Amino acid sequence: MAAPVQSPVRTETEIQKLTIGKALNLGLRAAMEADDKVLMMGEDIGRLGGVFRITDGLQKDFGEHRVLDTPLAESGIIGTAVGLAVRGFRPVCEIQFEGFIFPGFDQIVSQLAKLHYRTQGRITVPVVIRVPFGGGIGAVEHHSESPESLFAHVPGLKVVSCSNPVDAYWMIQQAISCDDPVLFFEPKKLYHSGALKQPVDTTSTPDPLFASRSLRSGTAATLVTYGPSVKVCLDAATAAAEEGTELEVIDLRSLSPLDLGPVFESVRRTGRLVAVSEAQSESSVTAEIAARVQQECFYSLEAPVQRVTGFDTPYPPAKLEEHFLPDLDRVLHAVDNALAW
Amino acid sequence: MAAPVQSPVRTETEIQKLTIGKALNLGLRAAMEADDKVLMMGEDIGRLGGVFRITDGLQKDFGEHRVLDTPLAESGIIGTAVGLAVRGFRPVCEIQFEGFIFPGFDQIVSQLAKLHYRTQGRITVPVVIRVPFGGGIGAVEHHSESPESLFAHVPGLKVVSCSNPVDAYWMIQQAISCDDPVLFFEPKKLYHSGALKQPVDTTSTPDPLFASRSLRSGTAATLVTYGPSVKVCLDAATAAAEEGTELEVIDLRSLSPLDLGPVFESVRRTGRLVAVSEAQSESSVTAEIAARVQQECFYSLEAPVQRVTGFDTPYPPAKLEEHFLPDLDRVLHAVDNALAW
Amino acid sequence: MSSPEQWTRPEPGAGPAATAAQPSPEQVIAGLRATAEGGTELTQLLTPEGERLPSSRFDPYLDDVDDEALRNLYRDMVLVRRADRESNAMQRQGQLGIWVPLLGQEAAQIGSGRALKPQDMAFPSYREHGVAYTRGVDFKELLGIFRCTDHSEWDFAGHGIHPYTIVIGNQVLNAAGYAMGQRFEGKVGDDDNAEATICYFGDGATSQGDVHEGFVWASVYDAPLVFFCQNNQWAISEPTERQSRLPLYQRARGYGFPGIRVDGNDVLGCLAVTRWALEECRRGNGPVLIEAFTYRMDAHTTTDDPTRYRLSDELEVWKHKDPIERVRVHLARTGAAEQEFFDEVDAEADRFAAELREYCFAMPDPPPERIFSEVYADPSPVLDAQREEYLAYLGGFADGGER
Amino acid sequence: MSSPEQWTRPEPGAGPAATAAQPSPEQVIAGLRATAEGGTELTQLLTPEGERLPSSRFDPYLDDVDDEALRNLYRDMVLVRRADRESNAMQRQGQLGIWVPLLGQEAAQIGSGRALKPQDMAFPSYREHGVAYTRGVDFKELLGIFRCTDHSEWDFAGHGIHPYTIVIGNQVLNAAGYAMGQRFEGKVGDDDNAEATICYFGDGATSQGDVHEGFVWASVYDAPLVFFCQNNQWAISEPTERQSRLPLYQRARGYGFPGIRVDGNDVLGCLAVTRWALEECRRGNGPVLIEAFTYRMDAHTTTDDPTRYRLSDELEVWKHKDPIERVRVHLARTGAAEQEFFDEVDAEADRFAAELREYCFAMPDPPPERIFSEVYADPSPVLDAQREEYLAYLGGFADGGER
Ligand SMILES: Cc1ncc(C[n+]2csc(CCOP(=O)(O)OP(=O)(O)O)c2C)c(N)n1
Ligand SMILES: Cc1ncc(C[n+]2csc(CCOP(=O)(O)OP(=O)(O)O)c2C)c(N)n1
Ligand SMILES: [Mg+2]
Ligand SMILES: [Mg+2]
């Protein structure tokens, strides 16, 4: 069992308004201050501070042996992180964009996910892999994908995603202090969103890492989602409320293990569920949600679980991404379908 | 559109009783005879004939430039196969055991699956990746897994699995003549099963590759499955029939695209569905089936879709695999649950 | 389309401050030395000062390069530089989502690209606009990738150049497979139609497992493949020292095929060395590794900010080695070209850029159906249903609904 | 447990016939030459005939190897060979699901393993039973992997040897990371507690991208890592020529660290060369690549049938180079051991094997709960529910239901 995350002792103002990006940066800094076994590894994370500047300033303050600009190879990053973890370090790897995680897939599936099980607990591999993910940034190929379902299918890994600055600040620290390997999916298009800025109280006690959370309660239907789509669902709920339809919105936060208790509870009240994700639908997390909800809430469901997801195509050229990504209209359309059932 | 598979002209007896392994061997041979652009690539597939002997005799008869004993690296095998396909070849890669496909994951996801889409059809990559999969062979780690759901989640790939000698013979040829990349999952524990031997008429016309097939009709509940679990489900149906319960059994054959029409049709009659697979359940093909069936057959379902799968753990030491793998008892237990709903 | 600025750079004042360390003086000197000198094993046929150095080994590969040919190489480089600068500017104006500049690498790309024969095949990475140009791809056809309207759609087989690849290094294995295919088809040998393949990648890419496996496969199958590594000294913010202890061309020594370092800013050197390497490959002595020692004069991409990790001193040193300037000096000094020629080329470059600009501003967005097209060569009913459903949904808005 | 025979070999008469080509006489000769000669750069300190060759470079690393030490090395090799043969036999008797024989590689494993200090760390592949033995792992603890009751469960930190790894080559990166950690912790230097890591892999593994990336990382981070490649000439059915044009130790040349080929059947050579390499690493001059040139005398595993791809002539040649025999001859010739000693060792080996056998036959099956245990360090409620449900289901059978 990992030690609970302690609020770092900080002299500066305790409560700042932060973006998700800055909250992650401060969370990483706090984790590095709290435990000198915490290392950062990745491409361009040192002097450049990462292409998204999430590790900005860390190499300057903690040195080149704690913030490593690694050679350009993802299997190498993850494979050496595993070895460092065996040695007692707590490496935090940054994958520059989610589309580049695949060269490291074997290390994740065959080593990272299995070492603890294989050795019946004699070895722990507390490695965090930070993955900026999702679309909507007008980027070229491989820079806008949502591969999280692949990792949710792999036993031995834990998979989480944050959707707001407070969670970003705490969840990254909790992931780092978790003794299991954690895939940490960060909604890249929201990194520097001023609109999402929140006051982050660095002295408060965070919610548990692997728990979902209801963000808005409602009676007509339930929306369940994570990461970048949380904002879409909240906006949809606001729009629906204007027309008198109250939607409940649940942020999963953890994709593996799934914490579906609050979803079941909600569906038992609303009778309708829409699962939303940018990822393709086939054999995905939203499929798992539908499968488990129909199992657990069979008699409560008044309509089938609806899914609003990316299409089962590769991510299209970004000029078309507004069509590909679930938006407010598609979410409300699905709600209408569920209500009309 | 690919040319339809032609029955090869053969002088020997047209109808032989074959195992799945031998049927695959003859299917590969027929494909190589029919098209000299068909190549075999893999580790130990030449002189040794593969560790399962599926390519036995092919190098002897077709030469070292059509049956390649490659260097030991899966990314290399798949990555060069992509290049050969671009050049006009039709490579058939053998991955020695499914657990070793992961070093090639990036080539599959980033190149093989996307080249056709990326180039808007100017390039086709007719590569087949043969993957012996599944457990029950008493093997060491990485030799008994079922990673097919990972590939079913990736758009641009087609994923199929055979469960009997007739399908093995035809499906491998159809996969090779398909212009899309096909992941071809072979139920390794059944390769040499004498009990499954079937007469294979090499002059008949095969069913389409991407179609599911009902193997047994029934009224009480539907079992849907693929690959090695087909036999388990058929045995379960036989056992249930002895107690007066008639189960329908559907062999999916194609996991992506899923051909669920026959499943919907069946569920509309039986009202109950059990999906069976050796793979872990989280975010898997069986989850996709449950999600889509609850959507399409909402009012027909009299019980939630049940799933009988491997547990969400890494494959255990093989001494425990009889517990891990869905067997007749677990399938019937799930049927009982569905019937008792 | 959102601007990439938005995601790689915080809003002003909003994101983390730029607190990257400034390098120490020692680091500056070491950096300058490491990146500015090619070492004694550098092959150079035209010095930065425009002097032609004789080479008994490589001069035979320049037999046909007369004054006109040299003027053409000059022209090629000026045109692609101009188109590169124009594209960079168009990105700043919001016409492209991102641009990947080739500035400084014109000689490496034109020299090697012009060494190819029509029957040869090139596998680019994402910065090879100059190579694409030498293969007859219209520069306009490159824009879609960066405007995010497509992912590469030119006539690959016709031009003999494969799509751009963004995942670092993984095209190297595809190129190795393609070259194996050339050999399997009997296209390697002494006759004039013999073929070869060239594969481009960067200094950073050499760390990737796939590049290694490409070396293994090509060497074990004697593939007619030229590995062309443009060492532009940087992989985004990481200097070559983060990837290797040794000069990169020496990597080949461990596999048993030749590796050579050429001045990547010397178009004649690149042309001759690549011709030699391709010839070796066509004759069956492949593969060969070429390290073109050059410099990325601009940012990694338009979303990058190189001031955070390298000093302008370095840039200044490399300005003296400009690939175009040395040819200009040489042409002028030897009387192979008059001022008039240079003016004409400049004018042509202006027209080239203007056309590009005009084209770019008028590029249409792809229709939504494009999302679903050519995912598979053979149809997928599941996907067809998704397309129909989505188009019907969209149609709903068109028929009076709002969106 | 089903027998692996069932899956890698068809039932007699049922499966495809063994129609593999017999090699041509030329192939036989070429094969013999390629696999039997280590080349002029082979380091050898004890010849197959038992003659001790002096070496000014490596003899200092054997200063402490007196007669007793040599007798101990002999004893080590005899014991592990005996245990290996016993395990192989137990597999045939259905007591193990599979066995991976080390026969022929005793000197490479004992020599290198005995070169390690207690504070060092070893990362094995799956054939390193001799190395595990030198690290103090009880041979019995290895059996669970092959009986399929566990996946490696010894005290890894205590013994200084990591779990076995089956995915070819991917442990090399883990070893590189571990060695980087040793350096980051300041454990590299001149004092006696300085540490190093050794990583074992085969000739076939050298083709994998991960092994290359391990070379890149270790060299760029100056990791104290000895890459120990046992070139046993075969990767299942593929000879080393399918992986490389050059001798494998030369791979290191491309990365800028030393590579050396040692006679892998010479325990003194392996001991001395590995000690040298570890010393280099501990002092900060790592990494180092050692290629131990040896031969896989048995099948790849008990499911393999080498008669399909190699000829017994090759085996016969290598029998003359047996790693144990040459030490026996040397001990006897120099009078360092009497017949009595050899008899004693044989008797000890018999006892060793008998104990192993007894232990193996009595090994219990793991309980079904094991499936669910230690998937995670921190609990997962989803999995806990699955376990409870399955155990309750099983309990149902116990309570009178049948299964
Ligand atoms: C597998 C992968 N990892 C990371 C990236 C992100 N990335 C894009 S370019 C680049 C640096 C490449 O450097 P180099 O190979 O030297 O080529 P250059 O850009 O200098 O031409 C990185 C890290 C990527 N595209 N692919
Ligand atoms: C990634 C991967 N691919 C394939 C295999 C199957 N396999 C097991 S051992 C082996 C050959 C290994 O040869 P080598 O590296 O020379 O080691 P050796 O067995 O000779 O000790 C192969 C192909 C594997 N274990 N892992
Ligand atoms: Mg570069
Ligand atoms: Mg070997």
pLDDT in tens, B204-255: 999 999 999 999 999 999 999 999 999 999 999 999 999 999 999 999 999 9
The CB density around residue D302, as the number of other CB atoms within 10 Å, is 23
Task: Please give the interface size between A and D, counted as residue pairs whose CB atoms are below 8 Å apart.
Answer: 142
CA distances from D209 to C206, C336, D173, D237 (A): 11, 49, 10, 21
Evaluated on CA atoms B201, B205, B211, B212, the torsion sign reads negative
C-alpha gyration radius of chain A: 20
Put simply, the chain C residues between 179 and 208 with a CB less than 8 A from any chain D CB are 206-208
Q: Which of D217, D375, D382 sits opposite A80 (nearest CB)?
A: D217
Q: Establish whether the linkage from the previous residue to C323 is cis, with ω within 30° of 0.
A: no
**End-to-end Cα, chain A, rounded Å:** 46
CA of D128 to the centre of ligand 2 (A): 13
Neighboring chain B residues of A338 at a CB cutoff of 8 Å: none
Say how far apart CA A229 and CA A216 lie, in whole Å.
14
Please name the residues in contact with D68: beta carbons below 8 A apart, sequence gap of 6 or more.
none
Neighboring chain B residues of C157 at a CB cutoff of 8 Å: 122
Interface test with D, best of B22, B28, B44 (most D CBs within 10 A): B44
The CB density around residue C249, as the number of other CB atoms within 10 Å, is 25
Say how far apart CA B39 and CA B127 lie, in whole Å.
10
**Ligand 1 pocket: which of C236, C251, C294, C301 to mutate (most atoms within 8 A of CB):** C236
| Chain-chain contact of C220 with D246 (C-beta, under 8 angstroms) | no
Mean pLDDT across chain B, nearest whole number? Answer: 96
Higher pLDDT, D21 or D172: D172
The amino acid that residue C318 corresponds to is W
Question: Would you say residue A149 has pLDDT above 60?
Answer: yes
Ranking A110-124, B276-290, D29-43, D165-179 by mean pLDDT, the lowest is D29-43
User: Catalytic residue numbers of A?
Assistant: 143
Ligand 2 contact, D104 CB (< 6 A) = no
Ligand 2 contact, B98 CB (< 6 A) = no
Neighbours of chain A (3+ CB pairs under 8 A): B, C, D
- pLDDT digit string, tens, across residues B89-144: 999 999 999 999 999 999 999 999 999 999 999 999 999 999 999 999 999 999 99
Is the Cβ–Cβ distance between C206 and C236 less than 8 Å? no
Question: Would you say residue D59 has pLDDT above 60?
Answer: yes
Q: Which of C208, C241, C252 sits opposite D254 (nearest CB)?
A: C252
| Chain-chain contact of C246 with D252 (C-beta, under 8 angstroms) | no
Q: How confident is the model at residue D223 (pLDDT cuts 50, 70, 90)?
A: very high
Q: Which residue of D has its CA nearest to A70?
A: D217
| Chain-chain contact of D207 with C219 (C-beta, under 8 angstroms) | no
pLDDT value at position C374?
A: 97
User: pTM (2 decimals)?
Assistant: 0.95
Question: Would you say residue D298 has pLDDT above 50?
Answer: yes
- pLDDT digit string, tens, across residues A56-91: 999 999 999 999 999 999 999 999 999 999 999 999
Give the ligand whose atoms come closest to the C-alpha of residue C202.
1
The amino acid that residue D81 corresponds to is R
Q: Across chain C, which distance is largest between two alpha carbons, in Å?
A: 76
Average pLDDT over residues A288-294: 98
Neighbours of chain C (3+ CB pairs under 8 A): A, B, D
For residue D201, give both structure tokens: 């892999």
Contact with chain D for residue C167, Cβ under 8 A: no
Question: Would you say residue D234 has pLDDT above 70?
Answer: yes
pLDDT value at position C32?
A: 54
Ligand 1 contact, C240 CB (< 6 A) = no
pLDDT value at position B15?
A: 85
Put simply, the chain B residues between 28 and 57 with a CB less than 8 A from any chain A CB are none
Please name the residues in contact with C171: beta carbons below 8 A apart, sequence gap of 6 or more.
B111, C123, C124, C125, C162, C165, C199, C201
pLDDT value at position D7?
A: 37
Q: How confident is the model at residue B326 (pLDDT cuts 50, 70, 90)?
A: very high
Coil, helix or strand at residue D27: helix
Phi, psi of D263, deg, nearest 5: -65, 110
CA distances from C52 to C110, C271, C280, C332, D321 (A): 18, 14, 24, 13, 59
Say how far apart CA C57 and CA A39 lie, in whole Å.
50
**Ligand 1 pocket: which of A100, A105, A131, A144 to mutate (most atoms within 8 A of CB):** A100
For residue B237, give both structure tokens: 């149906």
Question: Would you say residue A1 has pLDDT above 80?
Answer: no
Q: Looking at ligand 2, which residue's alpha carbon is closest to its atom 20?
A: D235
Please name the residues in contact with C266: beta carbons below 8 A apart, sequence gap of 6 or more.
C44, C45, C46, C47, C107, C111, C323, C326
| Chain-chain contact of A120 with D380 (C-beta, under 8 angstroms) | no
Ligand 2 contact, D235 CB (< 6 A) = yes
Is the Cβ–Cβ distance between C182 and C224 less than 8 Å? yes
Unique residue bearing structure tokens 């020529």: D241
CA of C231 to the centre of ligand 3 (A): 5
- pLDDT digit string, tens, across residues C24-73: 555 555 555 556 667 778 999 999 999 999 999 999 999 999 999 999 99
| Chain-chain contact of C244 with D251 (C-beta, under 8 angstroms) | no
Ligand 1 contact, A248 CB (< 6 A) = no
Q: How confident is the model at residue A7 (pLDDT cuts 50, 70, 90)?
A: low
pLDDT value at position C194?
A: 98
Average pLDDT over residues A254-269: 98
Tell me the CB-side half-sphere exposure of residue D166, using CA atoms within 13 A.
22
Higher pLDDT, B72 or D312: B72
Is the Cβ–Cβ distance between A316 and A291 less than 8 Å? no
pLDDT value at position D30?
A: 53
pLDDT value at position C12?
A: 41
In this structure, chain C runs to a length of: 403
Contact with chain D for residue C257, Cβ under 8 A: yes
Q: How confident is the model at residue D41 (pLDDT cuts 50, 70, 90)?
A: confident
pLDDT value at position C379?
A: 87
Q: Which residue of B has its CA nearest to C172?
A: B79
The CB density around residue B96, as the number of other CB atoms within 10 Å, is 23
Average pLDDT over residues D26-38: 58
Please name the residues in contact with D14: beta carbons below 8 A apart, sequence gap of 6 or more.
B19, B22, B192, B194, B197
pLDDT tens-place values along chain C, 403 residues long: 333 333 333 344 433 333 334 445 555 555 555 566 677 789 999 999 999 999 999 999 999 999 999 999 999 999 999 999 999 999 999 999 999 999 999 999 999 999 999 999 999 999 999 999 999 999 999 999 999 999 999 999 999 999 999 999 999 999 999 999 999 999 999 999 999 999 999 999 999 999 999 999 999 999 999 999 999 999 999 999 999 999 999 999 999 999 999 999 999 999 999 999 999 999 999 999 999 999 999 999 999 999 999 988 999 999 999 999 999 999 999 999 999 999 999 999 999 999 999 999 999 999 999 999 999 999 899 999 999 999 999 999 876 555 4
- pLDDT digit string, tens, across residues B167-176: 999 999 999 9
Please name the residues in contact with D48: beta carbons below 8 A apart, sequence gap of 6 or more.
D265, D320, D321, D322, D325, D326
Query: CA-CA-CA-CA torsion for B101, B102, B104, B109, nearest 10 degrees?
Result: 110
Say how far apart CA A283 and CA C160 lie, in whole Å.
38
